[in-house]
Structure 1
Amino acid sequence: MKDSTAAALADLGSTWPVEKLQNERTQQAALRRAREAIPELHQLLDEAVTAVHASLAVVFEGFPLDASALVVTAAAFGEVDPSYNGPNPDSLVHDVVDSEARPYRDPDPFHTDSPLLPRPHAYLGLLCVRPSPAGDGQTVLVSAADVAAEIADRSHLRALQDPCYPFAVPRESGSDGPSVTTHPILTVSGEGTAVRYCPVRVPAGLEQAGHSLDDEHVSALRAFERALEAQHLSAVFPLRAGELLVLDNRRLLHGRTDVGPEGVGRHLMRVKVHDLGGQR
């Protein structure tokens, strides 16, 4: 992104603060204004959307470190939504910071975001404000299609598409609704291979459900987890300050390498985006 484009995009924050961008209508209005006011941005966003559809991820370089600019740009992919985006229920932008209270964090294993939603967020945006000085805490990606191709036993692949894998759903106060929902891990269709997985939520789902998977589906789940460990499938993104990674949360799994003591202060800004063409 050119410096002039980034500066013009950041200036929109005075007109469209994040507090005014809480719904699809205002987000799309701000996006239209940005496209009209910044001609270079119009083409850049169209190219980025096309790139994500084709390659599942795109990186903007030289992006302004501004929350409003992040939301407006993410709106080109759909509706920016606060659900499951950190502890603040109304936060469109969540600050992921490695603080002194947690100076060392183990690697974050491969997962998809928002697996508890009936329809998980379609896209995830990660803007690097400050990388770790030590170069750790790097983002790692692997495609669901590559993982599926790594599974040699086709019966495992078929079993992973059965909607029987339980995911824990937080029990809302006073709610009588179910605490567990079941979904497939992989969905293979003419549109490609989609994935829903979290190494914490599935065991929690099994515990809350009060039953276990049968041997066929346990074996398939283990085959999937082994495929995730194939290092030749993954790609590492050492995000630098001012780089914005937008990824397809339905067809990619993401993770993070470990963060050592020197990584204190590592800071990313995260947004989650619903596809406007899909149901929530």
Structure 2
Amino acid sequence: MADSTGAALADFSSAWRTDELKSEHTQQAALRRARTEIPELRGLLDEAVAALHASLALVIEGFPLDTAALAIAAGALGRVDPSHNGPNPDTLVHDVVDSEARPYRDPDPFHTDSPLLAHPHAYLGLLCVRPSPAGDGHTVLVSAADIAAEIADRSHLRALQDPYPFALPRTPGNDEPSITAHPILTMSDGDVTVRYCPVRVAAGAELAGHTLDAEHADALGAFERALDTQHLPTTFLLRAGELLLLDNRRLLHGRTDVGPAGVGRHLKRVKVHHAHVQAPAC
């Protein structure tokens, strides 16, 4: 993004409060105005949407470090969802910060976001406000299609398209464990989509009465071994002002570890549904 475009977007977004932008109608109204008032932004967003559909992920450099600007620009992909985005409900933009309270974070294994929803978010946006001072905390991406191609046994691919148990988090006042069930891979007409969270799948498989049979346990093992294949992932460090947009249904993402010197690493995250998807239910 050119400096002038970034400055114009930051100036435009200063007139909007984040809580105003929780409405899809307001998001789209703000986006229409931004595209009209900043012609360079219109072309940039059109190119970004086309590139994302073609390559599943892209990075926009020089993006303003502004919450409202992120929400407005992400509206070009669909409905920016204020629900299911972090521990606090009704959060349009979630701040992911490595703080003094958590000075060391193990690697975040490959996963997709919102795997428990009936309709997982289609896209994620991650804006780097401050990278780790130590240069760790690299982003790691791998496509579902590449993982499927790595699994040689067709019976494993068939089994991965059956429903697997995902454990639901316990809610206050209800200590009874429960699950939802979804395929890990879905393959149709050459398109491969994925939903996966290793913690939720492992916990779901351990719940009484839902132990995986040998066929599905073997298939899950083949999937996890494919995720460990060294030549498939793309690894890179997001730098300040870089906005990563990714297809949450066709890519798995993760993060390398963040050491003690990484305190202060800060990303802003948005989650986006296709415009026609209504409020999902778990």
Class of the TM-score when normalised by the shorter of the 2 chains: over 0.9
Aligned to 1:142: 142
Is 1:217 aligned to residue 204 of structure 2? Answer: no
Aligned to 2:254: 255
Aligned to 2:63: 63
Q: CA deviation at 1:13?
A: 2.5
Distance 1:87 1:278 in 2: 22
Contact 1:180/1:209 (8 A) holds in 2: no
Is 1:189 aligned to residue 182 of structure 2? Answer: no
Distance 1:174 1:105 in 2: 30
Aligned to 2:243: 244
Distance 1:237 1:83 in 2: 28
Aligned to 1:98: 98
Q: CA deviation at 1:278?
A: 4.1
Stretch of structure 1 that moved more, 101-110 or 79-88 = 79-88
Contact 1:24/1:79 (8 A) holds in 2: yes
Distance 1:161 1:77 in 2: 27
Aligned to 2:114: 114
Aligned to 1:30: 30
Aligned to 2:201: 202
Q: CA deviation at 1:194?
A: 0.0
Q: Do the aligned partners of residues 178 and 107 (structure 1) sit closer, same or farther apart at CA in structure 2, a change above 3 Å counting?
A: closer
Aligned to 1:7: 7
Contact 2:160/2:183 (8 A) holds in 1: yes
Contact 2:177/2:207 (8 A) holds in 1: no
State the one-letter code of the partner of 2:189.
G
Distance 1:69 1:269 in 2: 11
State the one-letter code of the partner of 1:142.
V
State the one-letter code of the partner of 1:242.
G
* 3-state SS of paired residue (1:148): helix
Q: Do the aligned partners of residues 263 and 158 (structure 1) sit closer, same or farther apart at CA in structure 2, a change above 3 Å counting?
A: same
Contact 1:12/1:68 (8 A) holds in 2: no
Q: CA deviation at 1:31?
A: 0.4
Distance 1:191 1:34 in 2: 37
Aligned to 1:127: 127
Distance 1:122 1:179 in 2: 25
State the one-letter code of the partner of 2:75.
A
* 3-state SS of paired residue (1:200): helix
Aligned to 2:154: 154
State the one-letter code of the partner of 2:213.
D
Superposed CA RMSD: 1.7
% identity of equivalent residues: 75
Distance 2:258 2:38 in 1: 38
Distance 1:206 1:221 in 2: 11
* 3-state SS of paired residue (1:241): coil
Contact 2:167/2:177 (8 A) holds in 1: no
State the one-letter code of the partner of 1:143.
S
Aligned residues: 279
Q: CA deviation at 1:91?
A: 0.9
Stretch of structure 1 that moved more, 98-107 or 208-217 = 208-217
Aligned to 2:267: 268
Moved over 4 A (4+): 171-175
